[in-house]
Chains A and B, each alone.
Chain A
Amino acid sequence: MTAGALAAPRVRLGRSARRAAHLLAVLLLVTLAAAALVDLMPGSPSAAILGPTATPEQLAAMDAEYGFDRPFPVRYLDWVGGLLTGDLGRSVQSGQPVLGTILERLPVTLEIALLAVGISLLVAVPLGVYSGARVGGPLDRVVTAGASALMSIPVFVAGVVLIYLLALTTGWFPVSGWAPLSAGLAENLRFAFLPAVALAVGETPTLLRLLRGDVVATLREDFVRTAATRGLPRRYILFRHVLRPSALPLVTMAAVVFGRLLAGSVVVESLFALPGLGGLALQSIPAKDIPVIQGLVVLVAITYVVVNMLVDLGYTVLDPRTRAR
């Protein structure tokens, strides 16, 4: 009692301290790299942005405005200072504040990514559990073959096929574009559905296979046999006793997928003409819009770290043994 009670707060503190240190280290590295973008560009950033026709006066003006000519440490500290106060500078292209531009587009990407992960899990969990429960059975064989087939479909092919079948041929969904939530949930989901499904096509097989393997392993556990000899219904055993211990790797993987989709749904966003972050990156990179690119890089890094922390928290909910006692 005494030892445990005294040790508990220290353990918790240690864990969150470690998490915070991890977060800081990642952010430090990422911000350094993002700031170094300016120095890594061939020639001066102003010349790259304005092109070969720019006059020396124009170049000097841009250097002065964006501070590209200042030494690295000064620029870095200034930028990080801005980051802390929510000021990421202005876009070279539009002149709008970078943070505002990103926040305006973030909900689109966020929603598509969440929907895609949600759809993937909705399909992967029941299919993974039931095909793992009867390895080699009819369902398992169909699911395994189907997963391999889906996995080999590139996302742009999936997108085009979906547009053809569900938008052009049947007219159930719009071909492209976006309706914000303010236009109503139904309308919003009509636009979000196809891009999310296109992304889910590629991600579902990974999640499904992972869960299936873990279900097969968990089914060999003694406590599953115990539950079976107690005459509990099969579905109850599968979803109460098998799914939860098997779900830890699945949760990790789903989080990784979510992080990746936030950062990298460029193909789907351009295919469906969505006003999301992928589209923003696609515009900013060729234009060498350095402040926007830097903002995106930092956002992606923060997302990854935050998602990882949420996964850690999810673990303690799913597996009581990882809870600090």
Chain B
Amino acid sequence: MKGPLLVVEDLRCHIPSARGTVRAVDGVSLTLARGQVLGLVGESGCGKSTLVRTLVGAAPARASVSGAITVSGASLTDMPYEARRAFVGRHVGMVFQDPMSALNPVVPVGRQIGEAVRHHHGLSRAAARARAADLLEQVGVPDPGRRLRHYPHQFSGGLRQRITIAMALSCDPELLIADEATTALDVTVQRQILDLLTGLARDRGMGLIMVSHDLGVIAGRADETAVMYAGRIVERGPTREVFGRARHRYTDALLGAIPRLDAPPHTRLRVIPGAPPDLAGTAPGCAFAPRCPARGERCESESPPLQGESGGHAHACFHPAEGETT
């Protein structure tokens, strides 16, 4: 199939609240090819979860959403609600942060894995069971045939997340979205799950979006990285480029805040001063300006556009860093 897997153009998700409109996603554009891994990083509250939820049509009910989303050439934003939900169910898999709450506690896991494929592809009960067992095997759950009958509380955290991955894979999606999929797990399990996700994406030729606040999760796994701040993508490019030659001041500060093992003891950790902006605010200019060491007058009045550079590395900053970090 030709053309990119996912095209997002000028996506906005504005949520009305008592304090004014929260611009959780404010003009995001992205492209993802088949077999490509995109890392989406940013602080808590920068809108990255709202972005991926808006992508799959799970934005808050009150939100006003605009922009265009195309998956495999089909325009999601032009589809009626139920058709869109069915399309997303067939083509997009979603793995959420907390594997306990993402699974229904009173339904056996085999049924939860098999139900979507039964519905979307009309499989029989027995065929869905066999498929669920096969999927459990693929995601590394031991003794899958017996485990199908078990309930979520009978599994450890890591196994539960493997089960939600099996659920997400059940309809052979072309796009897999992992929203902080390893944040609730301990570090060793985290690594196994991340390897599983990237391995599956490679083997099946799926597009994979990994959402995380943890740069370490993205580095070395994502082909491309997009950095999100205050509802916008402020920098994106090949992961090596973004991590090696960060241009946006926010990316630069974020990379500088990673604790280093080779620093001498009692070195003060570097932090980004200030707090993430209130997305309900409507101040003009760059959202990072109040915390930025390099801000100029222009930054306070004008919002910098995302500008491309050579090699697909783009940033939205009037006073970019020289890109000689690390």
Residues of A within 8 A of B (CB): 221-223, 225-234, 236, 240-241, 244-245, 318-321, 325
Contact = CB atoms under 8 A, between A and B. Distances in A.
Nearest to B94: A229
Contacts of A221: 101
12 contacts: A223-B105, A226-B94, A229-B58, A230-B171, A231-B86, A231-B88, A231-B116, A232-B119, A234-B82, A244-B107, A245-B104, A321-B106
A27 B105 CA distance: 36
A234 B86 CA distance: 11
Contacts of A245: 104-106
Contacts of B134: none
Interface of B: 56-58, 82, 85-90, 92, 94, 96, 98, 101-107, 115-116, 119-120, 151, 153-154, 164, 167, 170-171
A233 B119 contact: yes
B58 A319 contact: no
A236 B154 CA distance: 24
A189 to B, nearest CB: 34
B89 A232 contact: yes
Contacts of B101: 221-223
B145 to A, nearest CB: 18
B107 A228 contact: no
A227 B104 CA distance: 9
A214 to B, nearest CB: 13
Given A223-B103, A236-B119, A320-B106, A231 B87 contact: yes
A240 B107 contact: yes
B120 A231 contact: yes
Contacts of B103: 223, 226
A229 B57 contact: yes
B58 A228 contact: yes
A99 B119 CA distance: 55
A321 B115 contact: no
Contacts of B87: 231
Contacts of B167: 226, 230
Contact of A241 (B98, B107, B171): B107
B178 to A, nearest CB: 13
Nearest to B87: A231
A244 B106 contact: yes
B104 A321 contact: no
A245 B101 CA distance: 13
Contacts of B106: 244-245, 318-321
B115 A229 contact: no
Contacts of B82: 234
B219 to A, nearest CB: 28
A172 B8 CA distance: 64
Contact of B102 (A226, A232, A234, A318): A226
Given A221-B101, A320-B106, A229 B88 contact: yes
Among all A-B residue pairs, the 3 with the closest Cβ atoms: A231-B89, A222-B101, A320-B151
A230 B89 contact: yes
Contacts of B170: 230
A222 B103 CA distance: 8
Given A230-B167, A320-B151, A223 B104 contact: yes
A320 B88 contact: no
B191 to A, nearest CB: 24
Q: Which of B88, B115, B167 has the most CB of A within 10 A?
A: B115
B15 to A, nearest CB: 16
Given A230-B167, A231-B87, A222 B102 contact: yes
Given A231-B116, A234-B82, 15 more contacts: A221-B101, A222-B101, A226-B103, A228-B58, A229-B56, A229-B57, A229-B89, A231-B85, A232-B89, A245-B104, A245-B105, A320-B105, A320-B106, A321-B105, A325-B154
Contact of B153 (A226, A227, A244, A321): A321
Contacts of B56: 229
Q: Which of A227, A234, A319 has the most CB of B within 10 A?
A: A227
A8 to B, nearest CB: 13
A229 B92 CA distance: 9
Nearest to A319: B106
A232 to B, nearest CB: 6
